[in-house]
Amino acid sequence: MRIGIFGTGGMADALGAHWARAGHELLVSGRSAENAAALANRLGAATGTWPEVAAAADVLLLALPAGAVLDVLAASGPLTGKVLVDCTNDPALTGAPVASRIASASPGAHVVKAFNLAPTDIWQLTPPAWEGRPLSVPLCGDDPAALAAVGTLVRDIGATPVAGGGLDRAALLEATAAFVIGLWFAGEDAQAILAPVG
Ligand SMILES: NC(=O)c1ccc[n+]([C@@H]2O[C@H](COP(=O)([O-])OP(=O)(O)OC[C@H]3O[C@@H](n4cnc5c(N)ncnc54)[C@H](OP(=O)(O)O)[C@@H]3O)[C@@H](O)[C@H]2O)c1
């Protein structure tokens, strides 16, 4: 696949490294040309402006703060037919879910919420795993082809995709992240609250 990566921070680096190893063609864009060039150099990727990368890519990873992603998309030109992978978290859960806001702002694009539940130090592992358990990655989206493409990208990092339902359920992924990450930062063992249903 031709994957555009928006953002040059931890998530962009961790997921991009897996996809580069898997043989995907990567393009990086960021607000800092210097940071974009440094990440592209590590990944063996090309760089471009937001609209250049959006136009060239089939799939766009939105590895940006939730509060920045809509402005960046507005500057990215037409997104019709693109798969937008939303890994963002908004710890404050302000307003409508980020995934819904992205979908409303990008008519004709196919939004898939994914990769928002685990931290970058786990995504950096090959394969991503904790305590010997490989990671599963829930996906929420409405377009079957987009879900299949992102499912392939999940397998390419060594994880297992899990059908999470339609994009309306992305709100649950965002709320889960906000709640669980809050527990981790408070020093609690968030895994200990998720006992399996008998
Ligand atoms: N960190 C995690 O463990 C984790 C896990 C799952 C999901 N997420 C979510 O994934 C997204 C990316 O997280 P991250 O850890 O990769 O963040 P990060 O390391 O802080 O990187 C953020 C990127 O966004 C860019 N950026 C910041 N403000 C911007 C703006 N106003 N306009 C354009 N670009 C802007 C930064 O550019 P500069 O380099 O110029 O600052 C940087 O390239 C966030 O929504 C986060 O909540 C994070």
Residues 150 and 153: their CA atoms lie apart, in Å, by: 5
Q: Are β-strands 83-86 and 110-113 bridged in parallel, bridged antiparallel, or unpaired?
A: parallel
Residue nearest to atom 17 of ligand 1 (CA): 9
Residues 128 and 28: their CA atoms lie apart, in Å, by: 22
Dihedral angle, C-alpha 130, 162, 69, 35, nearest 10 °: 40
pLDDT tens for the chain, residues 1 to 198: 999 999 999 999 999 999 999 999 999 999 999 999 999 999 999 999 999 999 999 999 999 999 999 999 999 999 999 999 999 999 888 889 999 999 999 999 999 999 999 999 999 999 999 888 889 999 999 999 999 999 999 999 999 999 999 999 999 999 999 999 999 999 999 989 989 898
Comparing CA positions, the residue from 147, 149, 152, 153 lying closest to residue 166 is 147
Q: Are β-strands 133-134 and 46-47 bridged in parallel, bridged antiparallel, or unpaired?
A: unpaired
Between the alpha carbon of residue 27 and those of residues 39, 88, 129, 159, the distances in Å are 10, 19, 26, 22
The encoded tokens of residue 182 equal 């809050």
Domains and CATH numbers, the chain: 2-187 (3.40.50.720)
Amino acid, single-letter form, for residue 136: S
Residue nearest to atom 19 of ligand 1 (CA): 9
Q: What's the pLDDT score for residue 91?
A: 82
Is the CB of 181 within 6 Å of ligand 1? no
Three-point CA angle 189, 191, 196, nearest 5°:
145
Is the CB of 37 within 6 Å of ligand 1? no
Which atom of ligand 1 is closest in space to residue 11's alpha carbon? 16
Residues 55 and 71: their CA atoms lie apart, in Å, by: 17
Q: Mutation test of ligand 1: which of 15, 31, 71, 101 has the most ligand atoms closer than 8 Å to its C-beta?
A: 31
Hey, how many other C-beta atoms are within 10 angstroms of the C-beta on 5?
30
Distance 9 CA to ligand 1 centre (A): 5
Is the CB of 89 within 6 Å of ligand 1? yes
Q: What's the pLDDT score for residue 20?
A: 98
DSSP code of residue 169 = G
Residue nearest to atom 40 of ligand 1 (CA): 32
Amino acid, single-letter form, for residue 117: L
Residue nearest to atom 20 of ligand 1 (CA): 9
The encoded tokens of residue 47 equal 């760089």
